């Protein structure tokens, strides 16, 4: 997923003009690859990679440290202590995401950057109505997520969150649509869609174990996954990469 997204962005890890950051925080780091690469790109920076699960530290640069934190319970970071705070594909899984996003915003130093990158947990179709199998899957998925206060429409709200916080300027949003089969002209975008489809089908394969009580079954999951692979159905998932610079503090009068 990471390499596909990076290739799509033109070989970079963010389009935000970060300057020369000294302290970088990556929340929900997953494999840690974004944090590791940022540590290599900014050797003078100290990068903190956070996740609820341990990362494989084999390739972790010396200027990157891993911290195991459950972000729904703990927030061990001082206000205004990082030049860059980054979350990718985390908020859409978190209960009450605006609360965590607000904590992340508070951890950014004046003049620093907050990078919020996420999907909407929705599939759309470019060449006709959505297949019933996909609608059925998401009806159950969304109703289950609603019970745990997880918002499937997180990505589309990120820019508004940054604007309305009034903490940031230069608020930017790059929206792109990851095609589940390669129906776009853009080979790099098709690649993003392919890795996204693989990641979605892997992540959802055992969803009936977690969402069985809401009506999710292996057959419904298979029907959904089959449609994602169907070249006749031009399905896509929206992705939103947002970034913004925190206001500098006004000098005391």
Ligand X SMILES: C[S@@+](CC[C@H](N)C(=O)[O-])C[C@H]1O[C@@H](n2cnc3c(N)ncnc32)[C@H](O)[C@@H]1O
Residue numbers of the site for ligand X (CB under 6 A)?
Answer: 1-2, 28-30, 51-53, 69-72, 88-90, 93
- For 168, phi then psi, to 5°, come to -125, 155
Least distance in angstroms from the C-beta of 43 to ligand X? 22
For the chain, what is the largest distance between any 2 Cα atoms, rounded to a whole number of angstroms? 66
Least gap, CB of 25 to ligand X (angstroms): 12
Pick 131 or 158: Cβ nearer ligand X: 158
Q: Based on CB atoms, which residue is closest to ligand X, 106 or 234?
A: 106
CB closer to ligand X out of 2 and 22: 2
Cα dihedral value 214, 179, 192, 10, nearest 10: -140
- Tell me the closest approach of the beta carbon of residue 215 to ligand X, in angstroms: 24
Query: CA 110, CA 107: separation in Å to the nearest integer?
Result: 10
* CA atoms of 110 and 123, how far apart (whole Å): 37
- Paired sense of beta strands 168-179 and 235-246, if any: antiparallel
Phi, psi of 91, rounded to the nearest 5 degrees: -60, -35
Give me the least distance between CB of 57 and ligand X, in Å please: 14
Beta carbon of residue 13, minimum distance to ligand X (angstroms, whole number): 11
Min dist. Cβ of residue 89 to ligand X (A): 4
Residue 247 CA to residue 170 CA, distance in Å, equals 9
Token pair of 199 as six digits: 């990641």
Q: Is 157 within 8 Å of 171 (Cβ atoms)? A: no
Q: Are 151 and 97 in contact (CB under 8 A)?
A: yes
DSSP strands (E only) in the chain: 23-27, 46-51, 64-68, 82-88, 108-119, 124-125, 168-179, 235-246
Judged by beta carbon, residue 71 or residue 162, the one nearer ligand X is 71
- Name the residue nearer to ligand X (CB basis): 51 or 151: 51
- The length of the chain in residues reads 253
Region of 132 on the Ramachandran plot (φ > 0 left; ψ -120 to 50 alpha; else beta): alpha
Whichever of 53 and 127 has its CB closer to ligand X, that residue is 53
Nearest approach, Cβ of residue 102 and ligand X (Å): 16
**Taking CB positions, which residue lies at the least distance from ligand X?**
30
Rank residues 28 and 131 by Cβ distance to ligand X and give the closer one: 28
């Amino acid at each position: 997923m990471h390499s596909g997204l990076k290739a799509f962005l033109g070989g970079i890890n963010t389009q935000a003009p970060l300057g020369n950051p000294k302290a970088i925080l990556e929340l929900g780091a997953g494999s840690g690859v974004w944090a590791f690469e940022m540590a290599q790109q900014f050797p003078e920076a100290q990068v903190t990679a956070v996740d609820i699960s341990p990362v494989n530290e084999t390739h972790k640069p010396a200027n990157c440290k891993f911290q195991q934190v459950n972000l729904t319970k703990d927030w061990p970071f001082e206000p205004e202590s990082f030049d860059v705070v980054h979350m990718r594909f985390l908020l859409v899984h978190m209960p009450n995401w605006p609360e965590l996003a607000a904590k992340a915003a508070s951890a950014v130093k004046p003049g620093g950057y907050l990078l919020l990158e996420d999907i909407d947990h929705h599939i759309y179709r470019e060449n006709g109505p959505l297949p019933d199998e996909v609608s059925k899957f998401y009806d159950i998925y969304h109703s289950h997520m609603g019970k745990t206060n997880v918002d499937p429409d997180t990505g589309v709200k990120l820019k508004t969150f940054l604007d309305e916080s009034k903490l940031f300027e230069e608020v930017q949003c790059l929206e792109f649509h990851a095609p589940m089969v390669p129906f776009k002209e853009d080979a790099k975008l098709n690649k993003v869609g392919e890795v996204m489809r693989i990641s979605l089908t892997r992540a959802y394969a055992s969803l009936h174990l977690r969402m069985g009580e809401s009506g999710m079954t292996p057959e419904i999951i298979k029907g959904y996954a089959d449609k994602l692979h169907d070249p006749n159905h031009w399905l896509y998932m929206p992705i939103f990469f947002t970034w913004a610079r925190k206001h500098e503090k006004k000098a005391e009068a």
